[in-house]
Structure 1
Amino acid sequence: MKGNIKLSLILFTLIWFPNSGEDQVERFNFKRDFTANTDLACSIGKEPYVFTEDYPVGRIISPGYNVEAFYTKNVFCKWLIKAPPGKVILISIERYSFGLDDEGSAKLIIYDGPEEKQLAVATRRFNLSKIFTSKTNQVKIVFNGAERGKGFEFYYKHIDPPQECSLTLDKQCRNKFQCYSKSDICDSKNSCIDGTDEEDCVRNEHDLSFPEQCGTPVIPPSILGAHIYGGEKVIPGSWPWLVSLRYPKSAPVDHVCGGVLLNRLWVVTAAHCLLFGNTKLFEVDFGRFNSMIDTSGKEVKRYIDQYFTHPSFMADGTVPENGNFTKFDIALIKLNAPVPIDNDYIKPICLPESGLVIEENSSAFVVGWGNPSKIDTEELFLKQAGVPVISLDRCKKQHPYDADTLGEHVICAGKLEGGTDSCEGDSGGPLMNYNAAKKQWQLIGTVMSGEKNCGEEGKAGAYAYVPYYRNWIDQTIRNN
């Protein structure tokens, strides 16, 4: 999905989401122009520009960044970020570069708390760590640049602080934000939002089987007129099997791929999503609507216990030169603990029978957050798009991949006139159609890696064809 919002950037860009629920988020005008007067933060003697508690996530850049590409000489700026009581502030430094003639005189200093204890400092000679977290709910940033330079860009996010647990009675959940006691272990009550207390427990058939109650969201999706690149924002909770694979080391912009919940313990995604980074550090999030902050209040986290890529994926051990993984780009994730599917926002999708044939021009839907590297308000919200199924013969003629890589393991869908497509960040997410006879949504494809020019005219999206893989899915889950 690619958004089409253009943000005018002079001093800083701020991405804003109110704290008080989905209604306010929905009413927010996403097309507003986030432009600030440089006098507010970059005048000597002025008070810092304040980001109040109502701004739980944002982006700050130096003057001229992304516009003139350089800040001017002798610039002096101050920002103050305030989180609600009980919260701390996570900061991710994306990039910074100071003046070439500036021998250490340019400084970016980050202070923690009202007493302004120095948390981090960067000059031309010294690098900041990429991600760090305050110990209080207040951070002050001061920038002093003597010579012209490219400047800096970073993101911040309000988060819960790590929770200290009793050494004698409590254990710390893996997320470090919660504690649990010995009596909580394997009681099926999820004292930890990430399932730590339910790990390594005896699994029953209820956890491993594909439930009959699948593909039926409690909150129906709005699919009338849906025509995610070129898509529309979804009703929160209407696609409850969608999963966000996240890599916390890239926080707060940590969504990397999509996935689909099959039962309480298993998720299907794209195999290439698991190639980059330590999978033990991945988080698997359920019940999300916003890719950066939890606006639903229904979010559940899990970790990857094991994963299984298709045995024919990268069988020769080499990465394609063009980065496009079209052959057998599918994987299964076994979670560290079952997820609760009695939550209206978390439900499994139905799997189609092996050998199912999907007719050309059949209606299908894709859902996802789109390009994770694009940070604007539209890209943060889950979007959906209706796409017609396209025959493999037409797909081979018009698809950017080599024709011989598109076989019976692939299904193509999209509007060849362009404008509607899955995109970067949607990899592993679902291509679905509605089984009218059973009144259930079923998974017919998962997004594979592909072109970065999403929605380009004449290029359909290519998906791993789930009916082709049904036997492998069943066997893998049964044997593990």
Structure 2
Amino acid sequence: MSICSYLWCLIISLSCVAPLSGNPAAVKEQISLKREKTITNIVNGVPTIDKKFFARINMPYRDKVCGGVVIDRWWVLTAARCVDHVSDHQYELRNVFIEIGNFTTGSQQKKTYKAKAIVIHPMYNLTTNSHDIALIKLVKRAPMFRVAELCSEPVEYGTEVGACGLGSTPARHPSPSASLHEIFLRGIFFSFASFFEIDFCPDDQVCTEPITDGASICNLDEGSPLYKLQCHSRAAECILGIASHFVASEHSEINCSGGSNFASVPHPYEWISETIVFDFLFNSGHLDRSF
């Protein structure tokens, strides 16, 4: 590569990182204000049609819906909080349904899959939101073109990232949307969170703040993907996190416009890979949840 080409690539890379204003103390103070109340949908998002990897997880016997992402033909990644109530009892497994397909308004191009096994991260803790990651094995394989790549490394502090889900579109109307919506956020990642001593964003989480006022995840979007964006195109490049919960804004009427927290994917990347490889090699068909 010539020196000119290298410099051009460097300029493009740097342009993908959105600058943050303010000093570390101010950043910490702003985030603490959003931390007053947490509850557990995309709000103030825009319609999106190119997220082929998105999955919707339905558990009608619990009246529960979550998001997810296809990461292998046999596996869907979601939040542990979405499936931590599912025991190894076959009745509950048989009643976990995963929809994969086109989530644009009015589309019927979706296929429903059943769950064969559920594997929750061994260090998952609902109280602290620690390691809020789970894997669902499908009974039948999903199409290869729907498989998303996982990010093995975090992106730089302040980088613009994307998230999608089926939550409500405007903040004041909490009913879920009929189509997939997308929002853009700015990441406050663990490497810098530690530097700023932000105590609510440990290294197994990705904390974000809205770029557009009121853009956030909310209830019904748990398990939905956060992704790194391709430079200058805003297309998803790799999966960076899984929606865990959001930090409510004190000025939001229904508390859905504050910062959003995601379980980090690069942090448990090895565990995710090893779980899938272990199942492939031994083909046990029934995985120990504590693996």
Name the TM tier (shorter chain): 0.5 to 0.7
Residue 366, structure 1, aligned to residue 172, structure 2: no
Residue 336, structure 1, aligned to residue 132, structure 2: no
Does the residue aligned with 2:56 lie in a helix, a strand or coil? strand
Paired residues of 2:184 and 2:211 also in contact (CA < 8 A): no
Paired residues of 1:326 and 1:405 also in contact (CA < 8 A): no
C-alpha distance after superposition, 1:246-270 (max 9, x if no partner): 02336xxx66110000011011100
Change (3 A) 1:359 1:393: closer
Equivalent residue for 1:415? 210
For 2:53, which of 223, 238, 241 is the aligned residue? 241
Paired residues of 1:283 and 1:304 also in contact (CA < 8 A): yes
TM-score of the pair, normalised by structure 1: 0.42
TM-score of the pair, normalised by structure 2: 0.67
Rounded to whole Å, the distance in 2 between the matches of 1:332 and 1:247 is 15
C-alpha distance after superposition, 1:361-413 (max 9, x if no partner): 21210100126xx775x623211011111244886899xxx954521111112
Residue 455, structure 1, aligned to residue 250, structure 2: no
Equivalent residue for 2:99? 285
Does the residue aligned with 1:441 lie in a helix, a strand or coil? strand
Does the residue aligned with 2:270 lie in a helix, a strand or coil? helix
Paired residues of 2:118 and 2:135 also in contact (CA < 8 A): yes
Rounded to whole Å, the distance in 2 between the matches of 1:245 and 1:334 is 12
Rounded to whole Å, the distance in 1 between the matches of 2:99 and 2:201 is 31
Does the residue aligned with 1:449 lie in a helix, a strand or coil? strand
C-alpha distance after superposition, 1:287-332 (max 9, x if no partner): 1426xxx832321111111111111113xxxx53xxxx52110011
**AA paired with 2:270?**
N
Equivalent residue for 1:267? 76
1:455 Cα shift? 1.1
For 1:230, which of 23, 44, 48 is the aligned residue? 44
**AA paired with 2:267?**
Y
Change (3 A) 1:300 1:341: farther
Residue 388, structure 1, aligned to residue 194, structure 2: no
Paired residues of 1:288 and 1:295 also in contact (CA < 8 A): no
- Cα RMSD for the two superposed structures: 3.1
1:280 Cα shift? 3.0
Does the residue aligned with 2:144 lie in a helix, a strand or coil? coil
Identity of aligned residues (%): 24
RCO higher in 1 or 2 (8 Å CA, sep ≥ 6)? 2
Rounded to whole Å, the distance in 2 between the matches of 1:360 and 1:446 is 18
Which is richer in helix?
2
Does the residue aligned with 2:275 lie in a helix, a strand or coil? helix
For 1:468, which of 258, 264, 267 is the aligned residue? 267
1:479 Cα shift? 1.0
Tell which structure's C-alpha radius of gyration is larger: 1
Q: Which runs of 5+ in 2 are unaligned?
A: 1-41, 87-91, 249-254, 280-291
Q: Superposition pairs for residues 1-400 of structure 1, below 5 Å?
A: 228-235=42-49, 238-249=50-61, 256-276=65-85, 278-289=92-103, 295-314=106-125, 320=127, 325-341=128-144, 347-353=146-152, 356-370=153-167, 376=175, 379-392=177-190
Change (3 A) 1:368 1:395: farther
Rounded to whole Å, the distance in 1 between the matches of 2:106 and 2:222 is 23
Residue 477, structure 1, aligned to residue 279, structure 2: no
C-alpha distance after superposition, 1:181-215 (max 9, x if no partner): xxxxxxxxxxxxxxxxxxxxxxxxxxxxxxxxxxx
